[in-house]
Amino acid sequence: MENYLRNINKELFFELKTLEKKIKFLLRYAILAPSTHNSQPWLFKITSNSCKIYSNSKISIKEADPLGRDLYISLGCLIENLTIAAKYFGVYENIIYRLNEEKNLVAEVFFKDNQKKENIDRNFEKLLEVIPKRFNARGLFENKKIEEEVLKNIVLVNSDKDLRIDFITEKEKIEKLSGLTAEGLKIAYLNSAFRKEMSGWINNNFSSKKRGIPGYALRMPAILSFIIPTLIKFFNLGKMLAKLNYQSMVSAPLVCVISARNNSPLTWLKIGRLSERLMLEFNLTGVKTSIFVAAVEMDDLYKKIQTIINSEYIPQFLFVAGYMDFQPKFTPREPLENKIIK
């Protein structure tokens, strides 16, 4: 099943006879986006020329994401994948954000029917091909810097003046940000409700569940993957997990902080789109990425991030980038058909 999800033959797109089938094909790329706890909090309604994107109200992560920021960032990542695919195949028309128009409706992406291979946009080909290969890298990064030229090209992706990208490469600052992440995790795991919620999203290595984080994605041995959810639920493992995350994060040659002028669902959607695009651009160059958001989410730690990056913008998302010779088994996805509202 997972091989089918990831092994997408893009040539099959041009054999599809209806726009509805083409939109469904594009959604195969969209659902490979990262989401909080691999919750996949999206639903779709396909019309004659568009795809409406909804948040799934049945999926709740209220302890880890009380504001809904991570929910909208996850949906933004999905929207970016969908638009990249649509632009490559030459069927992208436009997007309208529809927050507050209808319950749980987030955005609507419009498409134009196109049956000709000549209309594909080669500028998006490599991005399209890297979508199924992207994963959240866990563990230690190699002691290898990212070329300055790579960073210069990637930073050009952002054209929104309300959003800001900071690439942190100074070791001292990376250590400070890693320390804030560790501090954020310790704060989170002091909360028994958070631990209970978190334990419910971690699955053992052999689980058939299509949502949640399999132990292997966290590089857990099989036996440990059966034990850890229970330990997290009943014991405060914050210090241990903080240490492991600190070690991973501090080993990276670069930390990316994405900030915004304000907090709002629309801003978070745009942050998600930008974050996914940046991570895909890094993956194109052979650089792996790993998401660390505890310092953004817990208490007022974000203010300390503002000091480090010397900005009044509000930090919204953080990931690290570097080289890692490791290819994990991919996290599962729910069948696309289960996500389509009839």
Q: Which residues contact 260 (CB under 8 A, 6 or more apart)?
A: 162, 163, 164, 267, 270, 271, 313, 314, 316
Q: Which residues contact 256 (CB under 8 A, 6 or more apart)?
A: 165, 166, 167, 168, 278, 318, 319, 320, 321
Check whether residue 306 and residue 185 sit in a common domain. yes
* SS3 at position 183: helix
CATH of the domain at 251: 3.40.109.10
Q: Is residue 335 part of a domain?
A: no
pLDDT at res. 115: 67
What tens digit of pLDDT does each residue of 284-335 get? 999 999 999 999 999 999 999 999 999 999 999 999 999 999 888 899 999 9
pLDDT at res. 100: 86
Total domains in the chain come to: 2
Strand (E) positions, the chain?
Answer: 42-46, 50-55, 92-97, 105-111, 163-168, 202-203, 213-214, 254-260, 288-291, 314-322
Beta strands 92-97 and 105-111, pairing class: antiparallel
Check whether residue 95 and residue 179 sit in a common domain. no
Check whether residue 166 and residue 309 sit in a common domain. yes
Q: End of a domain among 111, 135, 159? A: 135
pLDDT at res. 118: 80
Q: Is residue 333 part of a domain?
A: no
**Could you tell me how far CA 331 lies from the centroid of its own chain?**
12
Check whether residue 131 and residue 152 sit in a common domain. no
Q: End of a domain among 135, 169, 200? A: 135
As averages over each run of 10 residues, the pLDDT of the chain (342 residues) reads 76 92 97 97 96 95 94 98 96 95 96 82 94 94 93 90 96 97 97 96 95 94 95 96 96 97 96 97 96 94 97 97 90 95 90
Q: Is residue 119 part of a domain?
A: yes
Q: Is residue 116 part of a domain?
A: yes
Check whether residue 91 and residue 129 sit in a common domain. yes
Q: For residue 76, give the nearest of 48, 103, 55 by alpha carbon.
A: 55
Q: Is residue 13 part of a domain?
A: yes
Q: Is residue 341 part of a domain?
A: no
Check whether residue 233 and residue 121 sit in a common domain. no
Q: What are phi and psi of 252, to 5 degrees?
A: -75, 145
Check whether residue 59 and residue 170 sit in a common domain. no
Check whether residue 127 and residue 154 sit in a common domain. no
Check whether residue 47 and residue 191 sit in a common domain. no
CATH of the domain at 97: 3.40.109.30
pLDDT at res. 294: 94
Q: Is residue 70 part of a domain?
A: yes
Residue 287 Cα distances to 78, 96, 283, angstroms: 21, 32, 5
Q: Which pTM does this prediction carry?
A: 0.95
pLDDT at res. 155: 87
Q: Is residue 338 part of a domain?
A: no
Check whether residue 201 and residue 232 sit in a common domain. yes
Range of the domain at 73: 2-135
pLDDT at res. 26: 97
